[in-house]
């Protein structure tokens, strides 16, 4: 995709299934759009977020921050990133002097989220940070505090909470059309058959199935229940040498004040992607529930929850941009991201002590 014109880029996006909402690419420049700089240019930034930014109505990709200079030519040729909007990890703080960049989107391993969030906030820029928010609750609180101190927004990249069918599940939690929830089953994982998993096998950077994928069923259990857990039990195992320092598979159970229980699992050893709520008067489910597209489901009443054609990341970033432009409530603020990390720490404690941990 190097050196593509806008028309050529649209064609490529269509082939990727990302061009459903492509008209905003030609939106009037008179409308205020949030300038976004991506920090970390790995797969998710390159293949998912950058193309999605071309589909937004309220955002534009204006800058990049990278520790890999060899990646810069691709980004300049593909997206026309100007020289003075390109930074590295050492001079990232200089973004403070760049009015073309309003938001710094942190898309690096979890172990670096706090560091880059603090640099961004101290530069006076709003922060969008990928999930999971940080390594522990202490880091989360520091991120929240520095953003409040600098009067900038902190948003966590839980795209599912912006997705139409997921929001329907959240509505069910409030309205209880199938009666009280008795049991939630949430599973997210994939089979890594290779012998190299990069940072995902490094515990210092946030590797392991629970940090990487486990926050999907964890967050899903919370928004499906519509309440916060009061206790947790968990088990972890690793069968391959690659994952000797992290969890390859984790199973955990959350107990909620209503009496509902959530049985959750995450893994690097097997494919799973489903969410189900069993209630007093029926059930509902999403399968898949956390894929980049095609999230669909059904209910015991025969209602079909058809997949939305909209690009999830574009919807997420537009919603987050509107929160800035309108100074309106954030759908997934830092405090929401921290709640998951508090529970995640309890899960690791439950495994370490082989005990039930009360929240």
pLDDT value at residue 44: 98
Contact 333, 156 (CB under 8 A): yes
pLDDT value at residue 353: 97
3-class SS of residue 20: coil
pLDDT value at residue 167: 98
Residue 121 has pLDDT above 60, yes or no: yes
pLDDT value at residue 136: 98
pLDDT value at residue 32: 87
| Per-residue pLDDT tens over the stretch 7-39 | 444 444 443 444 333 333 333 334 789 999 999
Q: How far is CA 53 from CA 17, 326, 342, 359, in A?
A: 14, 19, 31, 38
| Per-residue pLDDT tens over the stretch 273-290 | 999 999 999 999 999 999
CA-to-CA distance for 49 and 58, rounded, in angstroms?
Answer: 14
Reference 152, options 116, 133, 124, 130; nearest CA is 124
Domains in the chain, start-ordered, CATH in brackets?
A: 6-159 (3.40.50.720), 164-307+334-358 (3.30.360.10)
Reference 46, options 21, 22, 72, 26; nearest CA is 72
pLDDT value at residue 197: 86
CA-to-CA distance for 69 and 88, rounded, in angstroms?
Answer: 8
| Per-residue pLDDT tens over the stretch 321-356 | 999 999 999 999 999 999 999 999 999 999 999 999
Residue 257 has pLDDT above 60, yes or no: yes
* pLDDT average, residue stretch 297-320: 98
Element (H, E) at 38: strand 34-39
What percent of the chain shows pLDDT beyond 90? 89
* pLDDT average, residue stretch 46-75: 98
Element (H, E) at 299: strand 297-299
Contact 253, 265 (CB under 8 A): no
Backbone region of residue 127 per phi and psi (left: phi > 0; alpha: psi in -120 to 50; beta: other values): beta
Whole-number average pLDDT of the chain: 92
| Per-residue pLDDT tens over the stretch 131-187 | 999 999 999 999 999 999 999 999 999 999 999 999 999 999 999 999 999 999 999
């Amino acid at each position: 995709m190097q050196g593509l014109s806008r028309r050529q880029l649209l064609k490529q996006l269509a082939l990727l299934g990302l061009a459903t909402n492509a008209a905003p690419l030609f939106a009037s420049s008179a409308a205020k759009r949030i300038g976004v700089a991506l920090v970390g240019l790995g797969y998710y930034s390159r293949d998912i977020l950058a193309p999605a930014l071309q589909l937004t109505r309220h955002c534009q990709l204006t800058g990049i921050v990278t520790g890999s200079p060899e990646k810069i030519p691709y980004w300049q040729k593909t997206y026309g990133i100007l020289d003075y909007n390109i930074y590295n990890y050492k001079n990232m703080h200089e973004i403070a002097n760049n009015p073309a960049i309003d938001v710094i989107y942190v898309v690096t391993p979890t172990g670096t989220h706090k560091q880059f969030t603090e640099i961004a906030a101290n530069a006076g820029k709003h922060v969008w940070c990928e999930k999971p928010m940080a390594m522990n609750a202490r880091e989360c609180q520091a991120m929240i505090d520095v953003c409040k101190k600098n009067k900038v927004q902190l948003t966590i990249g839980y795209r599912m909470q912006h997705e139409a069918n997921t929001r329907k599940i959240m509505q069910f939690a409030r309205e209880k059309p199938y009666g009280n929830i008795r049991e939630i089953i949430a599973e997210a994982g994939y089979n890594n058959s290779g012998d190299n998993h990069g940072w995902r096998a490094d515990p210092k950077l946030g590797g392991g199935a629970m940090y990487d994928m486990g926050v999907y069923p964890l967050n899903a259990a919370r928004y499906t229940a519509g309440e916060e857990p009061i206790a947790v039990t968990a088990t972890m195992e690793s069968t391959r040498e690659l994952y000797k320092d992290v969890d390859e598979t984790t199973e955990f159970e959350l107990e909620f004040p209503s009496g509902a229980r959530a049985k959750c699992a995450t893994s690097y050893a097997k494919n799973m992607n489903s969410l189900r709520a069993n209630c007093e008067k029926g059930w509902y489910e999403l399968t898949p529930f956390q894929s980049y597209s095609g999230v669909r489901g059904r209910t015991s009443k025969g209602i079909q929850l058809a997949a939305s054609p909209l690009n999830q990341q574009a919807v997420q970033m537009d919603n987050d941009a509107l929160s800035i432009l309108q100074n309106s409530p954030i759908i997934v603020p830092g405090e929401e991201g921290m709640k998951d990390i508090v529970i995640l720490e309890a899960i690791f404690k439950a495994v370490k002590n082989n005990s039930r941990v009360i929240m």
